């Protein structure tokens, strides 16, 4: 070997040793990669170390996951099945375990060890996991099952409801009903002639569909469920019962129902009625014998004071109140007529207010303000039309009066009586509320002047009496359905417009307090009426001329 060849060989050996020494520390810094037994995703695992987002923490989490988790199985195949239908899976290996993520979607039935039937229950998606083979070394299969709706059943259901809808519209020609099946619900839309017909339609639909009902708007005012009294006759005998469904009532009744409440508030003198031995009983028509008012009859004689409500007939109540008023036992305090829409409240207030000083402190500073508190008679009504002439009425009367004995720091107190009740009435019937009793006691001393003041002898010439007065408030409410007048139905001449002042001859010689409308007289009312009539005639003539002016010509305009 030559010297040059020897030097070349030594130089190559030295370079090889240097590269090996340089790569050794770098290789020591990289950890060996562990074997991967399966597909493992550590993105779904969360821990406190992972939140730091450092390379060292991420490496430790991966090592821990690889040590604890052998394999994560995901859905490998998809299976579609229709609702109320099934599919059978024949496996090549025996199945010894099945797991379902959502049992409400599907049901699994095993036939032997290698056949599985998947039954669709509800629409949606779920996961089914199968363990196959031997338990010591199983094969796991994850299947994503999608349950789809059965279009044939939906089409058949729509056809059945379409025939049922046609039959209802033929049976109720004055109403327009539309049935919309949706999932397990049945939506009833359209328009009914009145409340009574709407109740009949909903009752028949619920009986045919075999389901309960949800709230609706068939009363035309505030919504709410409608229930008929008793069972409705089957207008379609022999018809098949439709699939069970929850009926959602969206049936409307045209127009708003306006209710006029005739209210009478009477004050009954119980003491005077008891002195006269009054025993009045009011007959309530079809309701039979009503309860006896607490201010009269047996309850009055026994000193009772309970609250009594009764549904009465209007003519009997008028006779009852008139008899009490004529004998001085009752006094009509107020007689308002309130008009409101079904489902809307109506209020009546009669009384006064008194000032109540109030001290308000803001940020350490105090300021005096004054508020007013009311007293007297306050009535709140909430009527709702349920049927053609059946009205549900909620009444809350409140009576209060000032009582100086209850004053605190110069502020007056109130004696308050209140009650709340809800009843169902027919149109024209009367609701009577009684039992709001007020008791007052006073004493009188009558004596002979001078002699009655002498000790020991004075009581012989004096008379002491103690009198207790009891008054009772009675509230009478009668609802009626009302409708506004059309412009052409309104009277042109209102009461009092034809009343004229008498002339001198009529007043002084003929003793007439009214004049004759067809002759000369003094009246500011007739002057305004005559001016209004003349103005209407002028407007009519002007309108007639305008129509002739614009209609003239071949094209509808003047030439």
CB 61 within 8 A of CB 47: yes
Nearest residue to 106 via CA among 122, 88, 93: 122
7-11, 184-188, 324-328, 453-457: range with lowest mean pLDDT: 7-11
Flag whether the pTM goes above 0.75.
no
pLDDT at 216 over 60: no
Asked whether the predicted pLDDT for residue 416 surpasses 80, the reply is yes
Q: Which of 93-107, 176-190, 442-456 has the lowest mean pLDDT?
A: 442-456
Q: Which two tokens stand for residue 102?
A: 């959502």
Give residue 128's pLDDT: 92
Choose the weakest-confidence range: 305-309, 363-367, 504-508: 305-309
Least confident of 165-179, 188-202, 545-559: 545-559
pLDDT band at 213 (very low <50, low <70, confident <90, very high): low
Among 4-18, 49-63, 130-144, 495-509, top mean pLDDT goes to 130-144
Torsion of the alpha carbons at 539, 541, 544 and 546, rounded to the nearest 10: -70
Looking at per-residue pLDDT, the higher value among 291 and 463 belongs to: 463
Query: Helices (H), strands (E): how many in the chain?
Result: 9, 22
Does 235 have pLDDT greater than 50? no
Residues 384, 259: Cα–Cα separation, whole Å: 9
Q: What single-letter DSSP state applies at residue 338?
A: E
Contact (Cβ atoms closer than 8 angstroms) between residue 263 and residue 232: no
What is the predicted pLDDT for the residue at 146? 92
- Hey, how many other C-beta atoms are within 10 angstroms of the C-beta on 117? 14
DSSP string, 401-460: EEEEEEEETTEEEEEEEE--EEEEEETT-EEEEEEEEEEEEEEEEEE-TTGGGSTTTGGG
Q: Is the pLDDT of residue 155 over 60?
A: yes
- The CA-based angle 117-118-122, given to 5 degrees, is 150
Kindly report the backbone phi and psi dihedral angles of residue 290, in degrees, each rounded to the nearest multiple of 5, phi listed first: -80, 175
Look at residue 201 and tell me whether its pLDDT is greater than 50. yes
Distance CA 220, CA 193 (A): 11
- Provide the pLDDT confidence category of residue 558 given band limits of 50, 70 and 90: very low
Read off the pLDDT of residues 30-67 as tens digits, 9 standing for 90 and up: 444 444 333 444 444 444 444 445 666 678 888 888 88
Tens of pLDDT, residue by residue over 480-490, are: 888 877 777 77
Nearest to 329 by CA among 439, 469, 476: 469
Q: Are 54 and 60 in contact (CB under 8 A)?
A: no
Give the span between the Cα atoms of 432 and 266, in whole angstroms: 11
Band (pLDDT 50/70/90 cuts) for residue 433 is confident
- What is the pLDDT confidence band of residue 7, given thresholds at 50, 70 and 90? low
Rounded Cα distance between 113 and 133, Å, is 10
Q: Are 179 and 164 in contact (CB under 8 A)?
A: yes
More confident residue, 178 or 267: 178
For residue 67, give the nearest of 34, 45, 39, 29 by alpha carbon: 34
Percent of the chain with pLDDT over 90: 10
Which of 301, 263, 251, 209 lies closest to 380 in space, CA to CA? 263
Answer whether residue 126 shows pLDDT above 90.
yes
Instruction: Grade residue 361 by pLDDT with cuts at 50, 70 and 90.
Output: low
Residue 354 has pLDDT above 80, yes or no: yes
Cβ atoms of 116 and 110 within 8 Å: the answer is yes
Sequence-ordered list of residues with C-beta below 8 angstroms from that of 17, at least 6 positions apart, any chain: none
């Amino acid at each position: 070997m030559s010297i040059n060849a020897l030097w070349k060989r030594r130089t190559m050996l030295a370079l090889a040793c240097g590269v090996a020494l340089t790569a050794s520390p770098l290789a020591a810094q990289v950890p060996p990669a562990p074997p991967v037994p399966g597909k493992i995703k550590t993105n779904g695992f969360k821990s406190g170390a992972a939140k730091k987002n450092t390379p060292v923490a991420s490496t430790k989490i991966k090592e821990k996951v690889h040590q604890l988790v052998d394999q994560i199985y995901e859905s490998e195949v998809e299976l579609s099945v229709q609702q109320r239908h099934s599919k059978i899976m024949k496996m090549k290996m025996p199945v010894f375990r099945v797991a379902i993520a959502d049992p409400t979607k599907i049901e699994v039935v095993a036939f032997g060890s290698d056949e599985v039937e998947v039954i669709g229950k509800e629409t949606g998606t779920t996961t089914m996991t199968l363990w196959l083979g031997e338990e010591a070394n199983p094969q796991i299969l994850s299947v994503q099952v999608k349950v789809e709706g059965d279009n044939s059943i939906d089409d058949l259901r729509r056809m059945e409801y379409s025939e049922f809808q046609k039959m209802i519209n033929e049976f109720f020609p004055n109403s327009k009903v539309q049935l919309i099946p949706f999932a397990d619900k049945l939506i009833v839309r359209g328009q009914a002639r009145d409340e009574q017909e709407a109740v009949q339609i909903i009752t028949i639909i619920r009986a045919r569909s075999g389901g309960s009902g949800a709230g609706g708007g068939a009363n035309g005012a505030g919504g709410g469920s409608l229930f008929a009294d008793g069972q409705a006759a089957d207008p379609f005998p022999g018809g098949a019962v439709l699939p069970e469904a929850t009926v959602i009532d969206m049936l409307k009744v045209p127009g708003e129902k306006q209710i006029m409440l005739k209210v009478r508030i009477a004050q009954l003198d119980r003491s005077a009625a008891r002195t006269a031995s009054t025993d009045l009983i009011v007959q309530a028509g079809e309701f039979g014998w009503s309860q006896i008012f607490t201010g009269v009859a047996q309850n009055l004689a026994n000193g009772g004071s309970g609250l009594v409500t009764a549904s009465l007939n209007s003519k009997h109540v008028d006779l009852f109140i008139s008899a009490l008023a004529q004998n001085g036992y009752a006094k009509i305090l107020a007689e308002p007529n309130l008009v409101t829409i079904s489902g809307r409240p109506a209020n009546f207030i009669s009384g006064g207010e008194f000032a109540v000083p109030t001290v308000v402190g803001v940020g350490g500073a105090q300021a005096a303000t004054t508020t007013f508190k009311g007293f007297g008679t306050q009535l709140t009504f909430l009527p709702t039309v349920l049927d053609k002439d059946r009205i549900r009425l909620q009444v809350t009367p409140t009576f209060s009066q000032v009582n100086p004995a209850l004053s605190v720091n110069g502020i007056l107190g109130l004696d308050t009586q209140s009650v709340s009740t809800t009843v169902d009435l027919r149109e024209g019937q009367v609701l009577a509320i009684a039992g709001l009793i007020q008791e007052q006691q006073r004493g009188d001393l009558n004596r002979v002047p001078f002699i009655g003041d002498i000790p020991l002898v004075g009581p012989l010439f004096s008379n002491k009496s103690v009198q207790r007065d009891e008054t009772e408030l009675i509230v009478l409410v009668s609802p009626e359905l009302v409708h506004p007048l059309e412009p052409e139905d309104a009277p042109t001449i209102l009461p009092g417009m034809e009343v004229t002042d008498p002339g001198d001859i009529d007043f002084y010689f003929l003793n007439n307090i009214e004049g004759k409308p067809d002759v000369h007289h003094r009246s500011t009312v007739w002057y305004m009426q005559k001016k209004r009539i003349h103005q209407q005639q002028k407007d009519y003539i002007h309108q007639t001329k305008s129509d002739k002016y614009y209609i003239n010509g071949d094209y509808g305009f003047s030439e």
